[in-house]
Amino acid sequence: VLASLAIFSIVSLFLGLFSYTPAILIVGSAVWGVTFGGAATLLNTALADAAEDGADVAISMTVVSWNAAIALGGITGGIILQGPGVNGLPWVILILALVSFLIVKINSEYAFPHPIRDEAE
């Protein structure tokens, strides 16, 4: 999760700095997709491990929070597009990704236990 957020942040920085370079836009979009595409799986796995017996409830709450985040992302994106425009999007995303990275890093001791999985299960 930390590596995914770090790469996502770096790509946001490059998209902000080089938004008029087609190659950066294409490669950056592809890398964004790869780093963000696995986020749901990584987060659900970490959440299930941390929640143990409460995994069903915790994952259900995660689905609700993801849906709320998608709705708020659309609203926020619209506000940004009406304000600073397309060029403002990578910078806002960079800030949000860095805040997310810090939250995950600070709480990684609690959020990512290292369970020993029984391969026979």
55 domain residue, yes or no? yes
Quote the pLDDT of residue 115: 59
Burial grade of 30 (CB within 10 A; 0-12, 13-18, 19 or more): exposed
The percentage of the chain sitting over the pLDDT mark of 70, rounded to a whole number, equals 91
Mean pLDDT of 18-39: 86
16 domain residue, yes or no? yes
Domain membership of residue 39 as a residue range = 2-111
48 domain residue, yes or no? yes
44 domain residue, yes or no? yes
| Reported confidence tier of residue 95, pLDDT bands at 50, 70, 90 | very high
* Cα-Cα-Cα-Cα dihedral sign, residues 27, 81, 95, 51: negative
Task: Check residue 120 and report its DSSP letter.
Answer: T
Mean pLDDT rounded to a whole number for the chain? 85
CA dist 20 → 8, 30, 53, 94 (Å): 19, 16, 49, 17
34 domain residue, yes or no? yes
CA dist 54 → 15, 46, 57, 75 (Å): 39, 13, 6, 32
Mean pLDDT of 92-105: 89
119 domain residue, yes or no? no
Is the pTM of the predicted complex or chain greater than 0.95? no
118 domain residue, yes or no? no
What is the total count of domains within the chain?
A: 1
